[in-house]
Amino acid sequence: MKNKVVVLGSLNVDTTLHVANMPQPGETISAQSKTSSPGGKGANQAVAAARSNADTCFIGQVGDDQSGQMMIKALKDNGIDTAHINIVEDQGTGSAVILLDENGQNSIMVYGGANQSMGSAVIKQAEELIKSANFIVAQFETPQERTLEAFKIAKENGVVTVLNPAPAATIMPELLAVTDLVIPNETESATLTGIEVTDEASMDANAAKFQKMGVKNLIITVGDKGAYYSTEAAHGFVPAFKVDAVDTTAAGDTFIGALCSQLSGDLSNIAEALTYAQKASSITVQSMGALPSIPTTDQINATYKN
């Protein structure tokens, strides 16, 4: 049976400036080229889940503009239910400017726009949808207050709540109390716990700190090294698949969406689901752009036949 994954998150149009090297403070450089594509952490995670055959639905907000229509169409084209995307007239659709260097590394600047003006009514209108899900996933490109409202509904109805605390910010303690699984990268984890991630012992310490903060289950993504996991039943490290990265944009989002498409509600198959998610993200980084680079299950299976 397919997992039903509801993503509460951001919808951004990404503009990528391709540069030889990242600019230094005060330096003006020329971009080699410019590309635009649908993106936003929420959209990326939803598309990754949908392309891995999850029954995927989206809760979000866009402006009444061409960019908003572009984002809704991009999700619909991937078979995602967009009935709970709200359209507002007083805010523009979110956008992001990405600097991408020749080594595949990026720096990202995000304008929240309609994403950040989301009100409680959007969550109330999606209450029945949230109740019907297996997983609900959220990030920090929409207001934490909305995530808290959605996670409370989910927890009351046995839906697994997954928080990707990116970009890193101070987390509302009451939000952590209703989070089943938190998935930061190593930098975000260190920011939130105050414990630098350097080795497995420090990851264990991060897990212990998150448990004290109210979250029993943790995954820390560590770029091209792999992913650490700690649940009530087990902990360990799943290595990444070594590839030549072209563009790391959406790698983490692909990982999360693909993971939620495979994960069982009790997290008992977490190591297997993490391996699948690592395969998905390893393919994403080998192509340009956010949504265009996210693989399908067939592509993942064809690439990793053994």
* Three-class DSSP category at 19: coil
Contact 45, 139 (CB under 8 A): yes
- Banded pLDDT at 224 (limits 50, 70, 90): confident
155 is in an annotated binding site: no
Residue 52 lies in a domain: yes
Return the biggest CA–CA distance within the chain. Answer: 54
Least confident of 77-81, 97-101, 173-177: 97-101
Q: Write the CB contacts of 2 (distance below 8 Å, at least 6 apart in sequence).
A: 53, 54, 55
280 or 106, higher pLDDT: 280
- Phi/psi of residue 252, nearest 5 degrees: -65, -35
Residue 35 lies in a domain: no
Position 90 scores a pLDDT of: 92
Asked whether residue 139 carries a pLDDT value surpassing 80, the answer given is yes
Query: Residue 144 belongs to what H/E stretch?
Result: helix 144-156
187 is in an annotated binding site: no
What number is the average pLDDT over the span 252-265?
97
14 is in an annotated binding site: yes
Q: How far apart are CA 127 and CA 106, in angstroms?
A: 36
Give me 39's structure tokens. Answer: 């993106």
Residue 82 lies in a domain: yes
Residue 252 lies in a domain: yes
Position 299 scores a pLDDT of: 94
Nearest residue to 87 via CA among 128, 111, 115? 115
Asked whether residue 289 carries a pLDDT value surpassing 80, the answer given is no
Contact 87, 70 (CB under 8 A): no
279 is in an annotated binding site: no
Contact 39, 291 (CB under 8 A): yes
Q: How far apart are CA 173 and CA 304, in angstroms?
A: 40
Cβ atoms within 10 Å, residue 249: 28
What number is the average pLDDT over the span 183-188?
95
Domain interval for residue 187:
4-11+40-92+118-303
Q: Please tell me the total count of domains within the chain.
A: 1
The active-site residue, picked from 64, 253, 266, 298, is 253
- Banded pLDDT at 104 (limits 50, 70, 90): confident
What number is the average pLDDT over the span 49-57?
98
Query: Residue 203 belongs to what H/E stretch?
Result: helix 200-213
Position 35 scores a pLDDT of: 84
Cβ atoms within 10 Å, residue 192: 20
What number is the average pLDDT over the span 249-275?
95
Q: Write the CB contacts of 275 (distance below 8 Å, at least 6 apart in sequence).
A: 238
Position 249 scores a pLDDT of: 77
Residue 290 lies in a domain: yes
Asked whether residue 96 carries a pLDDT value surpassing 90, the answer given is no
Q: Is the peptide bond before 167 cis (omega within 30 degrees of 0)?
A: yes
Position 306 scores a pLDDT of: 63
User: DSSP assignment of 152-178, as one string?
Assistant: HHHHHTTPEEEE---S--PPPHHHHTT
Contact 292, 247 (CB under 8 A): no
Mean pLDDT of the chain: 94
Give me 159's structure tokens. Answer: 């839906």
Active-site annotation holds for 298: no
Asked whether residue 88 carries a pLDDT value surpassing 90, the answer given is yes
Read off the CATH number of the domain in which 62 is found.
3.40.1190.20
244 is in an annotated binding site: no
Residue 97 lies in a domain: no
pTM: 0.92
Position 287 scores a pLDDT of: 87
Residue 282 lies in a domain: yes
Asked whether residue 30 carries a pLDDT value surpassing 90, the answer given is yes
Residue 194 lies in a domain: yes
Helix boundaries (H) for 77-131: 120-125, 127-131
291 or 217, higher pLDDT: 217
**H helix and E strand count, the chain:** 11, 13
223 is in an annotated binding site: yes
Position 98 scores a pLDDT of: 87
Position 106 scores a pLDDT of: 84
